[in-house]
Structure 1
Amino acid sequence: MRGLSRTALAEAEERFNAVAASADLGTLAEELFAVADLLDREHGLRRNLSDPARPAEQKEQAARGLLQGKVGEAALETVVAAVRAKWSRTSDVPDALERLGVTAAAGEAESAGKLDDVEDELFRFGRILAANPDLRRALSNAGISGERKQELLTGLIGGKVAPATLRLVTQLVVHPRGRSLESALEEFGWIVARTRERLVGVVRTAVPFTEAQKQRLAAWLRTTYGRDVHLNVEVDPEVLGGFSVKIGDDLIDTTIAGRIEEVRRRLTG
């Protein structure tokens, strides 16, 4: 987000942080997702609630009239803070509410000691989609109802992942909001990692890391970047040997395949 929307998001986040402390975070996540989805569907309502020309008091009154008694106090106060702010684009409002919903789900996981699990499970779900084109097509098919997709997800990962993971995956599958599943998973993973201001590193290796190896690499990266780095490890036989780590735009490549490619570039350069 840029300009006015960046400031507006900060204002909404400040109010969210104040009210979320005493809320059921799982419920708060669901309610913020529901309001975001409502504003996505109802373009006229979204325009009215985000029109910078309308007084903030009028927009607050409209939001309260619409949502009072239908969502909890924490969700209502978060939405009110969002509609009172001034946004660069009307679509930034549901984007912000969904983002805060993801933050609430991450907080739910952290309270249960499951935040690491959620990060790992989101990453693994992406690998499941990559390995199962039929499943990906079914979950991306606009002709299949949201209820049916939710049933598929419950049967596939229900009871096998943290409640917050199922909540997040259900949101991005049932309400893709114009995104691919892959980009939505990456976006949600980034927001979850941000809960503890951590970086995310994708490790590619020919053989699985032991827990000790993973911890040593994480410690070295923490020293290098000055921040904790959550590692998602992907086993890829094409690596041949060694490993690579991608953190944002940075690539640390110690793989044999990487060295071969470097030699090839030098010879043909």
Structure 2
Amino acid sequence: MRGLSKAAMAQVEARFNVLAASADLGSLAEELFAIAGLFDREHGLRRNMSDPARPAELKAEILRSLLNGKVSDTAIEVAVAAVEAKWSRAGDLPDALERLGVTAAAAEAESFGEIDDLEDELFRFGRILAAYPELRRALSDPNIPGDRKRALLTELLEGKVTRAALRLITQLVVHPRGRSLESALDEYGWIVARLKERLVGVVRSAVPLTEEQKQRLAAWLRATYGREVHLNVEVDPKVLGGFSVQIGDHFIDTTIAGRIEDVRRRLAG
């Protein structure tokens, strides 16, 4: 993505990170894939929802009414964040939702300690396709219904790969979106690798942080650590004021409670 779309993707990802923190990630992945598919099929809807001249509030209202009761509130709000953003081209809107679906599936694998397995399984499936051209032809054949492809993948892979790998491989086979299986696997593998390389920071603040504050904090941490930092924000009145951030063994404390405790330690010493 370039230009407006690159900035829009960063904006929507930041919103996604907040919304997905307490979500069922596997279900969220499936729902975002479904919404991306809706925009792929309904060209008029995609044009209207990605039109930068249309008021963001109107687009959000239309999308909420369309999706309400069909997917989770989290999926709706992620999709709303996407349609409120400004994209360079209409096709970048479903592309962004698909990418976030892959991110949700990878985050689910990460939560189970399976992200290394997921990365390896996507790579190995690409090698399987290269070694068995008949399988590749069958999975790429547009005349074979998606349900049959889904059943074949379940028979081949269920119980042998992680849930996230089966979910992602099924998605790219049943909904290739104009790509070859190899290029789709490479794209999904890149998203998984990117997630794997990020850091996770736990932020504790006396009051909820605004979106602008979260983005500024994330930018500062990215500059400090040289890597993307995913923020999980917890509201904790005991910190009194300011905030603390824990990233692995590193602890950054700007809270009033922390300063009081530091003074106490100094006096005790």
The verdict on a shared fold, with TM-score over 0.5 as the criterion, is yes
Q: Secondary structure at the match of 1:195?
A: helix
- The equivalent of 1:80 in structure 2 is 80
Q: Secondary structure at the match of 1:168?
A: helix
The 1-side partners of 2:29 and 2:101 are apart by 4
User: Percent identity, aligned pairs only?
Assistant: 73
- The equivalent of 2:11 in structure 1 is 11
Deviation track 1:51-78 (CA, whole Å, cap 9, x = no partner) reads 1110001100011011111111211111
Q: Secondary structure at the match of 1:125?
A: helix
Structure 2 gap ranges (5+):
199-225, 228-269
Q: Secondary structure at the match of 1:21?
A: helix
- The equivalent of 1:104 in structure 2 is 104
Q: How many pairs were matched up?
A: 200
Q: Is the 8 A contact 2:32 2:100 kept in 1?
A: yes
Structure 1 gap ranges (5+):
199-225, 228-269
Residue identity opposite 2:192 in structure 1:
V
Q: Secondary structure at the match of 2:65?
A: helix
The 2-side partners of 1:12 and 1:169 are apart by 24
Counterpart mapping for 1:31-180 below 5 A: 31-180=31-180
Deviation track 1:160-211 (CA, whole Å, cap 9, x = no partner) reads 110000000001000000100000001000100111227xxxxxxxxxxxxx
Runs of 4+ residues over 3 Å off in structure 1:
none
The 1-side partners of 2:112 and 2:164 are apart by 10
The RMSD of aligned alpha carbons is 1.2
The 1-side partners of 2:127 and 2:2 are apart by 32
Residue identity opposite 1:150 in structure 2:
R
The 2-side partners of 1:8 and 1:69 are apart by 27
Q: Is the 8 A contact 2:67 2:76 kept in 1?
A: yes
Q: Secondary structure at the match of 1:106?
A: helix
Q: Secondary structure at the match of 2:22?
A: coil
Query: Please, what TM-score do these two structures have when normalized by structure 1?
Result: 0.73
The 2-side partners of 1:9 and 1:77 are apart by 15
